[in-house]
Structure 1
């Protein structure tokens, strides 16, 4: 009899403890779901401090030697032109020369190929300039038609614009976005008559760079504009706070 009463007491205590632990776990589980998730934005405008300008020139001749000689002459004209514009020799980079054999295809009366007639060689070389004198190189790129007037078959590409202090800028923007998100979370908590608890999670969004005042679309993987000198950078930070 005594043993049965003891077993009943132990069982009762076990039931009470189990109920307490379950209730506490349930309460903590619900509490962990009481969170605020906010997204903050960091945004800044900046001007590129590095420009890359590229162009190409070519020559065609019936013999490879003549084509090389003509291309060498054009390369010297281009180099002299750029040096006279005040560009340091170290900033002028010429690529390796590419060459192609050119053929002219003739057809017979029924439209099938009669023969491929060799017409000569076409040699092409690229030149690139990288400089921190953005405005200066930008102006020279617009004046490059002067090379064509000098007899050089020169093709100019649009300049590309970069920013050398992007890492520092990104850190500053992350701090701005984090502060913005924290302010939003505090405002939401106050308006909901709740207390903002500890930060539970933070995630950084995609870093985007687009041209200022442009209609460029933001990309899921991040945009990186190189065609505009004046740019706008944005980044988002998502914070999740416990609510007490």
Structure 2
């Protein structure tokens, strides 16, 4: 199953006024001015735009871990034979860690000639060596198990194998339904805040005149990071997802 990684975009540009709303938290509905003069001035047929938000903790349910091996020798056959031995050792190691074969993708071998240069730094047209690289990619629902294997893969380096491990990418694949639920929660939050405002003025919150959604923010747990284009943290297993809406209500 291909994990869903695309963040939703707004159907319309989010108002510039609210681009920093996550950090401002709407300034929580409230300066003394809003609580006083501004609220008393609300009249029938006015409109009120309020920011609502919803935050939920989520945990990655899919992991992608990439790594590679390399060999550099004076001839291609020597480099290939060495890389072949490294490949066999890595596969044995992964099998010992209960990684199934169908979770592993192995790339074609990349060949990188190493050119000879003279004393002036100019290439002579000859190759003095060849460097071969082969890459591994593991995709798994076993987030904790794969993460532990990635961290312990230094065992291969201790054996003298030129093994390079990339940071694992942690994804959450159940975003579609969660987005809908969180937009609903954010809308209810906006309504509650709007009612708190108009009740002070003796008015009543009416129907929704306009609704806009900002991009979702998926960040490391408890992070205050935000991005105008949306963020999707893949370096942390435990994350927070935030949805924000701007709702314009009629005031009656």
Shorter-chain TM-score above 0.5: yes
Distance 1:213 1:42 in 2: 14
* Match for residue 223 of structure 1 among 207, 231, 240: 231
**The structure with more helix, counted as a fraction of residues:** 1
Tell me if structure 2 keeps the 8 A contact 1:41–1:234.
yes
Could you tell me the TM-score, scaled by structure 1's length?
0.81
Unaligned runs of 5+ in 1: 1-29
Instruction: Give the Å deviation of 1:116.
Output: 6.3
Distance 1:76 1:138 in 2: 22
* Match for residue 40 of structure 1 among 52, 55, 77: 52
Tell me if structure 1 keeps the 8 A contact 2:103–2:140.
yes
Q: What corresponds to 1:50 in structure 2?
A: 62
Instruction: Give the Å deviation of 1:151.
Output: 3.0
Q: What corresponds to 1:91 in structure 2?
A: 103
Tell me if structure 2 keeps the 8 A contact 1:200–1:241.
yes
Q: How many pairs were matched up?
A: 210
Q: Greater RCO between the two (CA within 8 Å, min separation 6)?
A: 2
Q: What corresponds to 1:78 in structure 2?
A: 90
Unaligned runs of 5+ in 2: 1-42
* Match for residue 243 of structure 2 among 223, 230, 235: 235
Query: Highest Rg: 1 or 2?
Result: 1
CA-based RMSD:
1.8
Residues 228, 41 of structure 1: alpha-carbon distance in 2 compared, 3 angstrom cutoff: same
Matched, 1:179 2:191: no
For each residue in 1:24-74, what CA deviation from the matched residue of structure 2 results, as whole angstroms up to 9, or x when unmatched?
xxxxxx965x10110100101111111111111101111112212221221
